[in-house]
Amino acid sequence: MSDASQYDPYAMPPGGIEEPQQTLWAALRKIGPGIILAGSIIGSGELLLTTALGAKYGFAFLWLIIFSCIVKVFVQIELGRYAVSSGKPTLGALNELPGPKWRVHWLVWWWFIMLLATVSQLGAMIGGVAQALNLAFPDGTARLARLIEPVSAGAANSLLDHPEYPWCVVTAFSAVGLLLIGGYKSIERITTGMVAAVTGITVLCVAILPASGYPFRIEDIVQGFTLFTRSGDGWTFAIPAAGIAAAFGAFGITGVGASELYAYPYWCLEKGYARFVGEHSADDAWVRRAKGWLRVMHLDAWVSMIVFTTATVAFYFLGATVLHRQGLHPEKEDMIATLAEMYVPTFGDWTRFAFLIGAWAVLFKTLYVATASNSRLTADFLSLGRFLKFDSAEPRRICIRRLCIFYPIFGMLLYFGFRDPRAMVVFGGFFQAATLPVIAAATVYMRYRRTDPRIAPSKLSDLCLWLAFVSITVVAAYAIRDWGLTELWPAVSGVFGSK
Helices of type H across 87-105: 90-95
pLDDT at 7: 63
pLDDT along the chain (499 residues), means of 10: 54 89 92 90 70 80 87 95 95 95 96 93 87 84 89 86 91 92 83 83 78 74 73 62 65 81 96 94 94 96 93 85 72 63 64 73 85 96 94 91 96 88 77 89 96 95 95 79 58 54
Query: Whole-model pTM?
Result: 0.87
Q: Is-contact 49 250, C-beta < 8 A? A: yes
Q: Nearest Cα to 51, choosing from 254, 259, 333, 349? A: 254
Q: Report pLDDT for 230.
A: 65
Beta strands 104-105 and 228-231: pairing type? unpaired
Distant-in-sequence, close-in-space partners of 333: CB < 8 Å, separation ≥ 6: 131, 164, 419, 420
Rounded Cα distance between 276 and 289, Å, is: 8
Q: Any alpha helices (H) in 164-239, and if so which ranges?
A: 165-180, 184-208, 218-224
Give the residues across from 101 on adjacent strands: 105
Contact 356, 369 (CB under 8 A): no
Instruction: Give the strand pairing for 228-231 and 234-237.
Output: antiparallel
Residue type for 12, please? M
Residues 6+ apart with CB under 8 A from 36: 187, 188, 191, 267, 369, 372
Number of C-beta neighbours around residue 145 at 10 A:
19
User: Which one-letter amino acid corresponds to residue 112?
Assistant: F
Q: What is the DSSP string of 396-451?
A: HHHHHHHHHHHHHHHHHHHHHHH--HHHHHHHHHHHHHHHHHHHHHHHHHHHHHTS
